[in-house]
């Protein structure tokens, strides 16, 4: 039986809610890691199924179980942050699964490169554990697009503005120092992980790394997921986050200019959609997409010119203001 230490090397937080089908695989993927010096904190966020009974049946002394009334995932993770004792902190959603060498690989990388936060690539799986490996599968197309942009631009912050290739909260592996510096998750139901990684990159420039060639996490895509209100709310939150963090690295004197231009681009997209809907298909104007592309390119050139004329010592917003 593994021993419990006063300060484990790694603290793992599992926020669990009604995942009796998956929680056992999640817990096993933590307790059977090739790095055994860890603690596992499972916080049951008001489950009404057998999630709690399954977790409490584990005899491993490294596992601690807590139950609370439902408070949503971000509050549950924040409670976990207050309980951790380890030098490194990881999060695992109760339906996802780690590869058994995940911690070994991420620890080695952190030690070699002095990283504060490390992400890996992920493997999408179904409810039954089947791997979605069809390149034409919608999620794979979306993820490949985000990765391709990351490789093309070579800037992790800019790539995250294009898309969240971290994919899930389960992909976060960070030092306890970084966790405490960045602070708690914000109260965004769908995008708290996206907001958190931006704050991490701002707090530790150059300290967030992506192991793009290593797939160390199985990410569960549920077959029952459908478009609905969540898809709308998620995209509204996405718009707000991009607007916020798009300007975070820009000199203060230019932030309002960039925000105004970005808002106008959104308006133009809506206007173009309305025009297309109003016109008969055979009368669609030619060259609309090239025109929008040229508009965006002109906007980007204008920003670069403005930035070159701003003193580099200009004050910027601190991480706490974000």
Considering the chain, what percentage of its residues have pLDDT values greater than 70?
Answer: 84
| Six token digits for residue 193 | 């992980």
| Among the listed residues 92, 88, 118, the one whose alpha carbon sits nearest the alpha carbon of residue 180 | 88
Residue 299 in this model has a pLDDT that exceeds 50: yes
Q: Which residues contact 61 (CB under 8 A, 6 or more apart)?
A: 1, 2, 3, 4
Nearest in space to 170 (alpha carbons), one of 218, 231, 233: 218
* Sign of the C-alpha dihedral computed for residues 74, 179, 250 and 293 taken in this order: negative
User: What are the tens digits of pLDDT across the range 134-177?
Assistant: 999 999 999 999 999 999 999 999 999 999 999 999 999 999 99
Structure tokens at 117: 């936060």
User: Which two tokens mark 167?
Assistant: 């994919």
* CA–CA–CA angle 145, 147, 153 (5° rounding): 100
Instruction: Identify the residue with better confidence: 254 or 297.
Output: 254
Give 129's pLDDT tier (boundaries 50, 70, 90): very high
- What dihedral do alpha carbons 235, 239, 244, 248 form, nearest 10°? 100
Q: Are 21 and 43 in contact (CB under 8 A)?
A: no
Say how far apart CA 84 and CA 43 lie, in whole Å: 12
Sheet of 38-45, strand order: 63-68, 38-45, 10-16, 88-91, 173-175, 117-125, 208-220, 97-98
- For the ranges 126-140, 202-216, 223-237, which has the lowest average pLDDT? 223-237
Sequence ranges of the domains in the chain: 10-220, 247-321
Q: What predicted TM-score, i.e. pTM, was given to this entire model? A: 0.83
Tokens 């003193």 correspond to 311
CA distances to 10, 56, 152 from 4, in Å: 12, 17, 45
* Residue 320 confidence class, pLDDT cut points 50, 70, 90: very low
Q: What is the CATH number of domain 10-220?
A: 3.90.550.10
Cβ-count burial of 181 within 10 angstroms (0-12 exposed, 13-18 middle, 19+ buried)?
middle
Helix segments in 126-251, DSSP class H: 138-153, 156-162, 176-182, 192-203, 229-246
């Amino acid at each position: 039986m593994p021993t419990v230490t006063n300060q484990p090397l790694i603290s793992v937080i599992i926020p669990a809610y009604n995942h009796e089908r998956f929680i056992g695989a999640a817990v096993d993927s933590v307790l059977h890691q090739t790095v055994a010096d860890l603690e596992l904190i499972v916080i049951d966020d008001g489950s009404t199924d057998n999630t709690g009974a399954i977790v409490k049946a584990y005899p491993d002394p490294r596992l601690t179980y807590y139950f609370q009334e439902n408070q949503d995932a971000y509050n549950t993770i924040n409670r976990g942050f207050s309980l951790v004792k380890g030098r490194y902190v990881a999060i695992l959603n109760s339906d996802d699964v780690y590869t058994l060498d995940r911690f070994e690989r991420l620890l080695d990388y952190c030690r070699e490169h002095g990283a504060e936060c490390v992400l890996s690539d992920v493997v999408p799986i179904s409810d039954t554990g089947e791997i979605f490996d069809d390149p034409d599968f919608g999620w794979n197309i979306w993820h490949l697009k985000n990765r391709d942009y990351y490789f093309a631009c070579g800037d992790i912050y800019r790539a995250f503005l294009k898309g969240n290739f971290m994919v899930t909260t389960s992909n976060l592996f960070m030092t306890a120092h970084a966790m405490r510096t960045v602070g708690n998750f914000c109260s965004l139901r769908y995008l708290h992980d996206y907001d958190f990684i931006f704050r991490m990159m701002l707090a530790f420039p150059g300290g967030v790394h992506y192991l793009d060639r290593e797939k160390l996490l199985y990410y569960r895509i549920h077959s029952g997921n459908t478009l609905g209100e969540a898809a709308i709310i998620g995209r509204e939150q996405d718009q707000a986050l991009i607007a916020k963090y798009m300007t975070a690295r820009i000199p203060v004197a230019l932030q309002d200019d960039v925000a105004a231009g970005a808002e106008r681009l959104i308006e133009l997209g809506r206007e173009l959609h309305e025009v297309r809907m109003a016109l008969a298909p055979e009368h669609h104007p030619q060259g609309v997409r090239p025109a929008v592309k040229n508009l965006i390119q002109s906007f980007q050139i204008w920003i670069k010119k403005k930035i070159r004329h701003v003193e580099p010592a200009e004050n910027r917003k601190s991480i706490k203001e974000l």
